[in-house]
Every structure is written in C-alpha cells, then in structure tokens.
Chains A and B, each alone.
Chain A
Amino acid sequence: NAGVTQTPKFRVLKTGQSMTLLCAQDMNHEYMYWYRQDPGMGLRLIHYSVGEGTTAKGEVPDGYNVSRLKKQNFLLGLESAAPSQTSVYFCATSGPGATAPFSYEQYFGPGTRLTVT
C-alpha cells in the first residue's frame, strides 16, 4: 500500500510555464484535496474533490485548475506559473467514515516543492 503519492517531488519552473502535479491514492478514498503551504501562512486549501468527476474551489483557487477523471487520481495544473506560486504543495485524501469532505481525518502525501523563477 503506497497510500498517497505525489509526483514530482521537486520542480523548478520559469514564469509563464505550465505544469501538472499528480496525486495518486490507493486507499479508495472519495475525497481528495490540494493544499499549498507557505511560511507563516499555514496550509491553505486550493481545490478539492468529493468524488470522481467533481471538483470544487477552496480558499486560494486562482491560477490553478484541477481534474478528477479517475477516483484514484487528482491533478493540479498551473497554466501560467507565477513566482507567487512558489510553495510546497500537499495532496490529501479522506475516506470511509467521512460524512462530508472534511469530517474525517485526512491523509497527506509527501509534498511537492515548486519554485517559480
């Protein structure tokens, strides 16, 4: 059981480039989330998904898009990267026992460190 995995682990982008971060889970969880973590800011929710084919905006969605075409994968896209998107990105999932997206403990992936120059 790999749990929650994220690829890539590290990435450096130039301003204006695009990229996709992949989150994969093998726990059969319904709910998946993308967070960013910045110094002094805590974790902030970017987008989340309550099931295959669904997505919803979180606290800081601007500049990001997401897709959940398969239950086990949640993709985070940056269409035109900006230096303000330099951050550590965490994916998380929650599953059986959850009555609503945030009503149960979340399992986090190892994170992706993204630098935009």
Chain B
Amino acid sequence: EDKVVQSPLSLVVHEGDTVTLNCSYEVTNFRSLLWYKQEKKAPTFLFMLTSSGIEKKSGRLSSILDKKELSSILNITATQTGDSAIYLCAVEDSYNTDKLIFGTGTRLQVFP
C-alpha cells in the first residue's frame, strides 16, 4: 500500500534554531514530491521536487529529494515564530489514478 511518513510528528524549537523535517515514501510510480505549509487553515505550496539531488530554495527554506533513499528533507534555518505551522509532505503517484498521497504532517512550534 502506498504511504508517506513524516518525522518527527512534532518539534519545538527556539527562534534562531535550524530544523530538519523528514519525509519518506513508498509509492508505486513516483512522479513528484511536494511540501506544503499549513498554518491555521489551508495548506500553502512550498516546493515541488522531481529530480534527485537538486536543492530547491526559498529564503530560509530549502528542500532536497533523494530518490535512492525514497525520502526528502525540508530545512528551515534561523527559525522565526512565523514558521510555526504544520508542514505537509505529499507524493504524486502517476500509476493509473494519479493519486496525491499526503503524510500526516510535522507540527513545528517556534518559541521566542
């Protein structure tokens, strides 16, 4: 059965810390991996990764995909309280039904 597993489930840090969030997947036919940030309501898109080893960067956030290890990491440097959110990882399976499978998310809390 296809699945996406994120770790840790929850993380509490202080402002300025650097965090690494993990996403591993078992999907029949991988097409892409996506990261979303969910604050109070709807998820907002962060990155889409399709190629192994190519880092995508946006400000203090960066992400990279490792197709050999079937995983991805999301790094946040110099964390701020505004980074507090649930970070969702999703993997696109292109086989038959083109499913998008979400992990349960990592809840990040950044304290001043």
Tell me the A residues contacting B by CB distance below 8 Å.
4, 33, 35, 40-45, 56-59, 90, 100-111
Contacts and interface: CB of A to CB of B under 8 A. Distances in A.
Nearest to B47: A105
Contacts of A43: 43, 88, 90, 102
A74 B41 CA distance: 19
A56 B97 contact: yes
A111 B94 contact: no
Contacts, number: 55
Contacts of B90: 43
A41 B104 contact: yes
Given A58-B99, A102-B100, A42 B105 contact: yes
Chain B interface helix/strand/loop/mixed: strand
Contacts of A111: 41-42
B45 interface: yes
B103 A42 contact: yes
Contact of A109 (B42, B48, B101): B42
B100 A45 contact: yes
B16 to A, nearest CB: 29
B75 interface: no
A35 to B, nearest CB: 8
Max chain B CB contacts within 10 Å: which of A35, A57, A106? A106
Given A42-B88, A108-B42, A110-B42, A59 B99 contact: yes
B19 to A, nearest CB: 20
A108 B90 CA distance: 14
